[in-house]
Structure 1
Amino acid sequence: MPQAPPAKKGRRRVKTGCQTCKKRRVKCDEGRPACQRCVSTGRVCDGYGIWGGGGNAYGSSDKVPFVSSSSLVRRNQMQPLRNIVVMSQTRAIAGQPASLGFEYFRRYTTTKLPGLFESGFWDCLVLQASEQEPAVLHAVTALGAAHKNEERISLTEYNEAIRHLRHSLKRSDKEALRVCLITCMLFVCIELLRGGFKAGHAHLTNGLRILREIQQREGVTSDGDIILRSKAVSVEDTLVEVFSRLNVQVALFGQVSSYLLFVGDSAESPRTYDIPQTFSSLLEARKYMDALINGSHILGEQASQLILSGQCIPEKLYEDQGRLEAALMRWLRALDSSHEKLINRADYRTKFAIPMLLLYHTMTRIMAATALRGTDEMIYDHYLPDFSLLIKQSADLWDLMRTAMKKALGLRGSSRPDINFTIDMGFIPPLYYALAKCRQPNLRRMILELLKEVPHREGAWDGFTVINMGDLLIEIEEEGMYEGIEIKPSCYLPDPSVAEVLPIIPASQRFNNVNVALPDFESGKATLFGRRYRGNNQWESKIVHFDSAFRRLNPLSWECIQNSCVGMC
């Protein structure tokens, strides 16, 4: 009886090693920075994904390397982040319901979430990591599903991401920390999309703490500050960038930030907001602006804590204020000097990004100038022309963006784009700040009108929620002062003869501090915490609940408006 030929043994799939050996399905010796198996055969080693490596003596890859921050201390430990996506893990979910979430993330979420400014995290790092790490892949899929309103898929993938992350954290090496931080930022975004604001803030705080500890361990910073490099050279730099952006946004809405942010290269970098004479890119201008916003906010928080405890403001804080105001002037000069260069090399987002930066400069200038006001809320009346400029800048920018969006979507007449979401800052923080601090009734009502026009969510903040807060704040502070008086919303201050007729809100009715706590998930009330100064170091606190107005999303990708914006800059 003839015997059947022996069955062929399948080749065992290679799960570890460099990308080149995986493609060839051969055993890799996992040498660093390039494996010897590739080098000895004259091949280019494609490295180990986001964990670095690659290259050889016979040729060089055309991928862009980013040197690990640790290499600044030890040059022989280079771990570049390579600009490549190798389709491997994602094949495992192809054809499954979960693939809907991943594809939506890849096509739409990654273009919408970063907002107006480029982001190494969203543009490159997160997709690379999803090809190498199961925790990141499932977190990405959960975020895409949440963005698409596929709740069941999102919840299932979220749980899978947590399960794989726990397994990854059994290792205590640098790679495990990177996976933890990438996944942590994705969790923040998922929670904000779902309305889990407390959980999102907790993830953000934990991520910042880990990043600060990494920078301290590697000698990038020697104290509690976080260093944001003007040009990212490592995975950690990219992570600092995305976490610091969100931290600045959260801080602007009354959440205390304990991390001072500076742009520099090492622990020896001066903490003096050393603004360059010109900016090489809009991203560099944005990083310095983030540091100035963060510094102005923390300066105000430091002064507020001293005043609440009955202490005097020390001279050092006045010196810090002077440095901030001088840096803001240098920043504006640098942007003006760089304007032509930035426009000439601009992509379609630049048409909106430069006005957005100028809007934030106006807000931060007011913040820095009033940070040491103590109990004097009347000081903001001196900055009414600046508030008027802020509102006008917001209105002009929104008209510009609305025109582009309508053209891209084919909307006509008074139709408005659908609600969309970004994790980055946009209109809402400056308008929220002006709503809380500008007491001129025409300007204040114009802010509400603008917020009604902007169908937008930025991080945890929804335009309608801020409108509800503004209505409540106006009701409490004005207490019917303008009943019977016709007040028209306007970007401009009224004629002096008209302004004299309008009563001024007295100091006793003005809140010195306003914080808002959002509820977890879509139902429930938001809470406004306000504090008024009553003299003799006495304060009156007020807590009021109001509708959070959390809304579902129909996201609009920035890619939708690219064609209508090309050539307009």
Structure 2
Amino acid sequence: MRPGGRTKVKSGCRTCKIRKVKCDEGRPACQRCISTGRVCDGYGIWGGGGNAYGDPQRLTISKSTQVIHRPLLSGIIDDKGYLEWFKCRTAIKIPGTFRSNFWSTLLPQASFSEPAVLHAVLALSSVHKRQTVNTDAQRLIRTNPDQQEQFGLRNYVKSIKAIGHLKPHCSIKDRASFRVALITCVVFVCLEFLRGHFETGLVHLRNGISILREMKILSNRNDAVARLKSRRDSTDDWIIEALSRLHLQVELFQYTFEHPNPNLCLQGTWQNTPASIFHSIFEGWQELERLLNGIIYLTHQARRQAVPGCVSAKESLELLEHQQHIKESLVQWLATWEAFEQSWGPASEERQKAYLVLHVFHSMGAIMVNTCLHPRDEMIFDYHTNQFIFLIMQLAGLRDVHLIKTLPGHLMDMSRSVVDFGWIPPLYITAVKCRVHRIRLQAIRLLESTSHREGIWDAKITACVARKVMEIEERDFYENEDTEDFFPLDSLPTPRDLDLPVLPDSHRLREVEVVLSGAPVDRILLFCKRMQHGLDCRVLLSEFDVHLQRWKD
């Protein structure tokens, strides 16, 4: 207790904090202020109060806002240059096709009032600038951190220290402190993925999901959404959206093998009735992302079912019902999306790219949902050859409007890298799961035609792994067959291509697992599952040395 019998105020609106009274934290204005006739000043970057929270004009950072928060940057001249880079380059490029208010609004505002977020943003900007400006040769020659890298590392450490100061507030469930920690966590994940420190990035992602569980946001999300005029007006939803997208990327990366799944809390409301109309590209992607999460959930449940005694007959029936629901939802999504496209008329190149990405992920989702309940049956993908052909032609079309040609060297062109979805996941899944030689080779060659990164997905690493999987599976099976491996990347398979003998089940790899080792990654480990002495064993197939560009079986 403080002198006078008052409890120290650690959270609440600005008005209640100044008055040193307990705030009920009501939105948009707290009841304490309303009941006393006062103007509620809101919750800083978290909005609320007697202001126009949710108004896009207010949410844009103005020069006056920067002046107010300038003391946070006082005495640090270099920081302003990196903030300018972040504003003009990183915040525009990194989010990718499906941009969100997390990057355009929340992160810039939070960086001007929260030290932890500011230093995380500076570190991310430094890494992005360094990787974009420097050539592959310059990055390989340097063995010690240069001045720019040291700047990024210093701010990384400062951000971690600033988060440490938030721990007392997090321990008392202070929502604002949780949000600062989550925003910083998202930036850390993106930063580590850009650096090629994938294992560290995954640790940050898991930490972020653990914080979400503590906040209990997800369990109450439906009620919160119902109370809001727009989902995108909610800070919590912006944060969840950013983490959810990173989570889905990782789950797709791990889609081909069984793995511990601590992230099921992000599945959201995938069993809900699909939307009957879309008002924006963003809404279309949100709906599709929800369905993809549902398919991944079903895949995990089916893997449990494959173990005797883990799933009851009732649960098996429920999985079939859920699968059918998602199939129907995907059909309805496509009809709704095509109606949205027609209503907009001719599309710009950027909008056309977004349209193609959405169609690609819908086609990939259709294959995944049709095969998800048979995780140990690699032959089942042969029934979906026509869908794979349709998907590969969509991907070939996407290449013309979206991606770049391969650059010299084995490192990535970071100026084209994003933390959003592009074409790498569907190309990889096609290359690994479709056993029609011509189709999978086309997917691999499309991957090899680019050199960028999409979050945890690295184009050259993915292409390297996919080609190795094809070589291991096919071996000399097509040695006496006349295969045409040099064809235009936008061409359709010929009847002759499709008439090749079917690759037998004994040749196919099951549970293909890729481990990215090192910081930055210097080894790629390729595993699969095989029966040995009556046991289903995880087997190391091969190891790739990134610098030597060589597999060691």
Partner of 1:115, secondary structure, is coil
| Match among 40, 44, 50 for residue 45 of structure 2 | 50
Q: How does 1:250-265 map to 2 (within 5 A)?
A: 250-254=250-254, 256-257=260-261, 258-259=263-264, 261=266
Q: Structure 2 vs 1, CA of residues 479 and 526 (structure 1 numbering), >3 Å: closer, same or farther?
A: same
CA distance in structure 2 between the partners assigned to 1:545 and 1:497 by the alignment:
32
Q: Structure 2 vs 1, CA of residues 136 and 507 (structure 1 numbering), >3 Å: closer, same or farther?
A: same
CA shift for structure 1 position 229: 11
CA shift for structure 1 position 100: 3.1
Does the aligned pair in 2 maintain the 1:532–1:539 contact within 8 Å? Answer: yes
Q: How does 1:133-212 map to 2 (within 5 A)?
A: 133-149=114-130, 150-172=148-170, 173-212=174-213
Q: Give the aligned partner of residue 294 of structure 2.
A: 295
Partner of 1:528, secondary structure, is strand
1:116 corresponds to which letter in structure 2?
Answer: T
Partner of 1:317, secondary structure, is helix
CA shift for structure 1 position 462: 1.1
Single out whichever of 519-528 and 379-388 deviates more from structure 2.
519-528
Partner of 1:158, secondary structure, is helix
Single out whichever of 207-216 and 349-358 deviates more from structure 2.
207-216
Q: Give the aligned partner of residue 331 of structure 2.
A: 329
CA shift for structure 1 position 90: 4.6
CA distance in structure 1 between the partners assigned to 2:218 and 2:453 by the alignment:
36
Q: Structure 2 vs 1, CA of residues 491 and 376 (structure 1 numbering), >3 Å: closer, same or farther?
A: farther
Q: How does 1:17-56 map to 2 (within 5 A)?
A: 47-55=42-50
CA shift for structure 1 position 84: 3.8
In the alignment, structure 1 residue 482 sits paired with structure 2 residue 478: yes
| Match among 45, 54, 57 for residue 64 of structure 1 | 54
Q: Give the aligned partner of residue 138 of structure 2.
A: none
Q: Give the aligned partner of residue 246 of structure 1.
A: 246
Normalising by structure 2, what TM-score?
0.78
CA distance in structure 1 between the partners assigned to 2:285 and 2:118 by the alignment:
29
In the alignment, structure 1 residue 112 sits paired with structure 2 residue 109: no
Q: Structure 2 vs 1, CA of residues 399 and 343 (structure 1 numbering), >3 Å: closer, same or farther?
A: same
Does the aligned pair in 2 maintain the 1:454–1:463 contact within 8 Å? Answer: yes
CA distance in structure 2 between the partners assigned to 1:299 and 1:28 by the alignment:
50
Q: Percent of pairs identical after alignment? A: 35
CA shift for structure 1 position 54: 4.1
Single out whichever of 247-256 and 209-218 deviates more from structure 2.
209-218
Does the aligned pair in 2 maintain the 1:230–1:287 contact within 8 Å? Answer: no
Q: Structure 2 vs 1, CA of residues 496 and 401 (structure 1 numbering), >3 Å: closer, same or farther?
A: closer
Q: Give the aligned partner of residue 93 of structure 1.
A: 73
2:240 corresponds to which letter in structure 1?
Answer: V
Q: Structure 2 vs 1, CA of residues 351 and 115 (structure 1 numbering), >3 Å: closer, same or farther?
A: same
Q: Structure 2 vs 1, CA of residues 512 and 491 (structure 1 numbering), >3 Å: closer, same or farther?
A: farther
Q: Give the aligned partner of residue 305 of structure 1.
A: 304
CA shift for structure 1 position 206: 1.7
Q: Give the aligned partner of residue 559 of structure 1.
A: none
| Match among 103, 106, 127 for residue 125 of structure 1 | 106
Deviations 1:301-351 (A, max 9, x none): 22123214576772111111111111111111110122133457x776322
Q: Structure 2 vs 1, CA of residues 230 and 341 (structure 1 numbering), >3 Å: closer, same or farther?
A: farther
Does the aligned pair in 2 maintain the 1:508–1:532 contact within 8 Å? Answer: no
Q: Structure 2 vs 1, CA of residues 261 and 308 (structure 1 numbering), >3 Å: closer, same or farther?
A: same
CA shift for structure 1 position 377: 1.1
Relative to its length, the structure with more helix (as a share) is 2
Partner of 2:526, secondary structure, is strand
1:152 corresponds to which letter in structure 2?
Answer: Q
CA distance in structure 2 between the partners assigned to 1:292 and 1:425 by the alignment:
15
Deviations 1:388-443 (A, max 9, x none): 111111111110225xx89xxxx9xxxx9875211111110111111110111111
CA distance in structure 1 between the partners assigned to 2:266 and 2:335 by the alignment:
21
1:93 corresponds to which letter in structure 2?
Answer: L
Single out whichever of 234-243 and 476-485 deviates more from structure 2.
476-485
Q: How does 1:113-512 map to 2 (within 5 A)?
A: 113-149=94-130, 150-172=148-170, 173-215=174-216, 219-220=220-221, 231-254=231-254, 256-257=260-261, 258-259=263-264, 261=266, 272-309=271-308, 314-343=316-345, 349-402=350-403, 420-483=416-479, 485-488=482-485, 489=487, 494-497=493-496, 499-500=498-499, 502-512=500-510
CA distance in structure 2 between the partners assigned to 1:90 and 1:230 by the alignment:
31
CA distance in structure 2 between the partners assigned to 1:367 and 1:511 by the alignment:
17
What is the Cα-based RMSD across aligned positions, in Å? 3.7
CA distance in structure 1 between the partners assigned to 2:496 and 2:42 by the alignment:
72
CA distance in structure 2 between the partners assigned to 1:30 and 1:122 by the alignment:
33
Deviations 1:434-483 (A, max 9, x none): 11101111111111111122221011221110111012101111112223
1:200 corresponds to which letter in structure 2?
Answer: G
In the alignment, structure 1 residue 547 sits paired with structure 2 residue 544: yes
CA shift for structure 1 position 216: 5.2
Partner of 2:539, secondary structure, is strand
Unmatched runs of 5 consecutive residues or more in structure 1: 1-15, 21-26, 67-80, 223-227, 265-270, 552-569
CA shift for structure 1 position 376: 2.0
2:73 corresponds to which letter in structure 1?
Answer: I
Deviations 1:51-73 (A, max 9, x none): 33443xxxx65x6359xxxxxxx
2:96 corresponds to which letter in structure 1?
Answer: G
Partner of 1:349, secondary structure, is helix
Does the aligned pair in 2 maintain the 1:17–1:28 contact within 8 Å? Answer: no
Does the aligned pair in 2 maintain the 1:65–1:82 contact within 8 Å? Answer: yes
Does the aligned pair in 1 maintain the 2:439–2:493 contact within 8 Å? Answer: no
Does the aligned pair in 2 maintain the 1:443–1:492 contact within 8 Å? Answer: no
Partner of 2:221, secondary structure, is coil
CA shift for structure 1 position 538: 5.0
